[in-house]
Chains A and B, each alone.
Chain A
Amino acid sequence: MVETGFRVTSKGLLNSDDYLIEVEAPIVSERIRPGQFVVFMTHENGERIPMSVQKTEDGKITMLIKKLGKTSLELFDYEVGDSLYAVIGPMGNATPIKRYGNIVWGSDLVCGYAENWAHCNALRGVEGNYVISMQTFPSKEDVYLEEELRAVSDEYYITTLDGSYGRKGHYLDILEELLDEGRVDIVFACGDIGRMRDLARLTEKYGVPARVVLRQIMVDATGMCGSCRVFIDGEMKLTCIDGPMFDAHKVDFDEVINRLGMFKDAEGKAKERYQRQRGNR
């Protein structure tokens, strides 16, 4: 009952920043449910990084990752056959997969797309659910997962911020139209934290429930450090063991956004350092 190996079985760029990586992790693969996440470490001295899992297959998990900091750059440099130090999970709570009615699932960032697919894939199987997926990308060349998401949704919308593909703008514009039409029973979202704040305000205005997946900074991800604390209706909750999904209307987004920036300078330094070293190789 011990998980070893964590061999990379497939890897590929999705756009200029985002990549897909498939890793062997049989236990996680068998047990993870939508909403739950993993913590991975590239090597023994690495960070513990919480990460969404898009899908699982034959003892393998697929993660979608943005080349953002040192660890994500480093992982992208792993070749098929290389092994990660650890993939730990499933962590966090599974989202109840039940009848919600008309569901909108919105995403505008890498982890969001993964969560979007994982959830819709499960939610669509429940009788009485009608799943509407929405994706937003900056531009046409950034688009990925469109076909896959269409396949697990009853209705699908795509927007680009520059209008080069799909509708111009953010999916929140389309969401607002659907809310106007009274077609939405619940909204789920994961992605850009600022836009999730907008989403919370918008849905609150219409009195429609909304759930957001938060990705706060974690260390152990087992409830020990308190780094991922958020305030839900004024009460301290830990994203790792109480979340990662919360009622959007109760989240203090300003505080969440602020805490996400705590290690920005340090992370920037580590990234630069890695890029410099990599360039020298």
Chain B
Amino acid sequence: MARVPMPEQPVEERMSNFHEVPLGYSPEQAIKEAKRCLQCGESQCTVNCPVEVDVKKFLKELSEGRFREAFLTIKESNPIPAIAGRVCPQEDQCEGACTLGRVGSPINIGKLESFLGDWAMENGVEEDFSIQEIPQKVAVIGSGPSGISCAVDLRKKGYQVTVYEALHKAGGVLQYGIPEFRLPKKVVDEELSNLKKIGVDLMLNTIIGQNLSFEELREEYDAIFICTGAGAPRFLGIQGEELNGVYSANEFLIRTNLMKAYKFPEEYDTPIVVGDKVAVVGAGNVAMDAARCAMRMGAEVTMVYRRTRKESPARLEEVHHALEEGLNLMELVNPVRIVGENGWVKGVELIRMMLGEPDDTGRRRPHPVEGSEFMIEFDTFIEAIGTSPNRLFLERAEGLEVNRWGGILIDENLQTSIEGVFSGGDAISGGATVIQALGEGRKAAKSIHEYLRTARAPKEYK
């Protein structure tokens, strides 16, 4: 039996809006899809999940129409199912391990997960638990996926948890990075509202290391979880990056997603300038997001990638949607310099690449083909070549050891070089998935609980 197809917004329709592309399963469709599960003995889906959601169990419950139970089963391991179901690279995780995938198409686990998350929100279904208060205080720096999961777990154990967020909206990369058409901000806000409901304090507009110091936090809290993400853009370092029309993908996405520049000037005040012909460098999820945003703002977008589509680290669904939406994916090319005219991007000089031996990521390493340079005209140039941990915090966190590229050093329990200070998410890994960050948040919560339970008495509280 084939997968129950996911209804989607038709291409021509969705190119003029930022609404979500998949329209979601109806209850009947969801039950039908869940029924396909063989309930096989291996449960590789769970083994392959960074937070070990009991997939088999929730599919069984869902297939029997027991939505509430199915939802609560997911919630035991994943505090944000409506989000994770939308952004996880399922093909590399649960769905990639699905037995059905060997003979046909795997269960659409991601969409069933988000179906249940959405259903719970619409029907006001929540976890039922009571919190036994513990006076010890924990600060969580950053409100992205790992911060959320760490805060929720610690709060459920009874700790007094405060989450600090630098921006004016919570969610970290979920808010500023991932576009509306992939992850509606209503879903983010809704799943985050749960934090407040269970008594987590959320401090927006508070930049640790800037308007509140790390030392002050250390004095006030019994333990700290640093999940400041990898928010600093990397630039290629080529000629012409000062030109107008050159964006880091971060800037392009922050303007678009956090500041809603695509609704400028009618509803929002932050502008964005998108030319007719846009080049996006890179081919990961962020590159796909930037490209698809630009296409929705009317641009013709060419993705320039030094490897081939096969090596792209983006989610399959994103590549599929982007190509469907008219993305021109140019493989085996790399920008050499950006050429300007009157201070604006005019074109890009590219060089052809060829693939050599595999590197440490297992992907074949690209090499430039000498003398193969050529020019293409563009008026906007977006660099999506990765991000680094934000140095604003790191430079001002005394005693915190980092590695060569700024990732925070941790031990096997996610504790940093400072006792009682833990870290997880992109701040340690440099740029991974939402679900991995979420898993690390949960692991950190366990370590922090262990640390606070055994290591010390609570600080004196005023």
Query: Taking beta carbons and an 8 Å cutoff, which residues of A are in contact with B?
Result: 1-3, 27-28, 31, 41-42, 44-48, 70-71, 85-86, 88-91, 219-220, 222-227, 229, 231, 236, 241, 252, 255, 258-259, 261-263, 265-267, 269-270, 273
Least Cβ–Cβ distance between B372 and chain A, in angstroms? 28
Contact of A266 among B232, B251, B273 (CB under 8 A): B273
A259-B267 Cα distance, complex, nearest whole Å? 25
Least Cβ–Cβ distance between A252 and chain B, in angstroms? 7
Q: Are A70 and B259 in contact (CB under 8 A)?
A: no
Contact of A270 among B168, B269, B273 (CB under 8 A): B269
Least Cβ–Cβ distance between A231 and chain B, in angstroms? 6
Known: A41-B168, A47-B269. A90 touches B244 (CB 8 A): no
Q: Are A220 and B241 in contact (CB under 8 A)?
A: no
* B166 contacts chain A at the CB level, 8 A cutoff: yes
Which of B4-12, B111-119, B199-207, B452-460 forms contacts with chain A?
A: B199-207
* B430 contacts chain A at the CB level, 8 A cutoff: no
Q: Hey, which chain A residues are within 8 Å of B232, CB to CB?
A: 223-224
Q: Hey, which chain A residues are within 8 Å of B244, CB to CB?
A: 258-259, 261-262
Q: How many of chain B's residues have a CB under 8 angstroms from any CB in A? A: 45
Considering only residues 118-151 of chain B, those with a C-beta below 8 Å from chain A are none
* B39 contacts chain A at the CB level, 8 A cutoff: no
* B260 contacts chain A at the CB level, 8 A cutoff: yes
Q: Are A225 and B211 in contact (CB under 8 A)?
A: no
Known: A223-B231, A224-B232, A236-B235. A27 touches B211 (CB 8 A): yes
* B328 contacts chain A at the CB level, 8 A cutoff: no
Least Cβ–Cβ distance between B211 and chain A, in angstroms? 6
* B364 contacts chain A at the CB level, 8 A cutoff: no
Known: A219-B270, A223-B232, A224-B232. A236 touches B241 (CB 8 A): yes
Known: A2-B203, A236-B235, A266-B264. A225 touches B248 (CB 8 A): yes
| Residue on B nearest A252 in the bound complex, by CB | B242
Q: Are B211 and A88 in contact (CB under 8 A)?
A: yes
Besides A219-B255, A220-B167, A273-B265, 17 other A-B contacts (C-beta < 8 A): A1-B203, A2-B204, A27-B211, A31-B211, A48-B168, A90-B210, A90-B211, A222-B392, A224-B233, A224-B254, A225-B251, A226-B247, A227-B247, A231-B242, A252-B242, A266-B273, A267-B271
* B343 contacts chain A at the CB level, 8 A cutoff: yes
| Residue on A nearest B162 in the bound complex, by CB | A1
Per CB-CB distance, the 3 closest pairs between chain A and chain B, nearest first, are A266-B271, A225-B251, A258-B343
A219-B249 Cα distance, complex, nearest whole Å? 13
Q: Are A48 and B270 in contact (CB under 8 A)?
A: yes
Query: Taking beta carbons and an 8 Å cutoff, which residues of B are in contact with A?
Result: 166-168, 176, 203-207, 210-212, 231-233, 235, 237, 241-245, 247-248, 250-251, 254-255, 258-260, 263-265, 267-273, 343, 390-392
A262-B204 Cα distance, complex, nearest whole Å? 29
Q: Are B211 and A28 in contact (CB under 8 A)?
A: yes
Contact of B206 among A2, A42, A71, A229 (CB under 8 A): A2
Q: Are B242 and A259 in contact (CB under 8 A)?
A: yes
| Residue on A nearest B167 in the bound complex, by CB | A220
Known: A219-B270, A223-B391, A226-B233. A88 touches B265 (CB 8 A): no
A2-B167 Cα distance, complex, nearest whole Å? 13
Q: Hey, which chain B residues are within 8 Å of A231, CB to CB?
A: 242
A29-B166 Cα distance, complex, nearest whole Å? 18
Q: Are A270 and B265 in contact (CB under 8 A)?
A: yes
Q: Are B264 and A225 in contact (CB under 8 A)?
A: no
Known: A1-B203, A255-B242, A263-B273. A227 touches B259 (CB 8 A): no
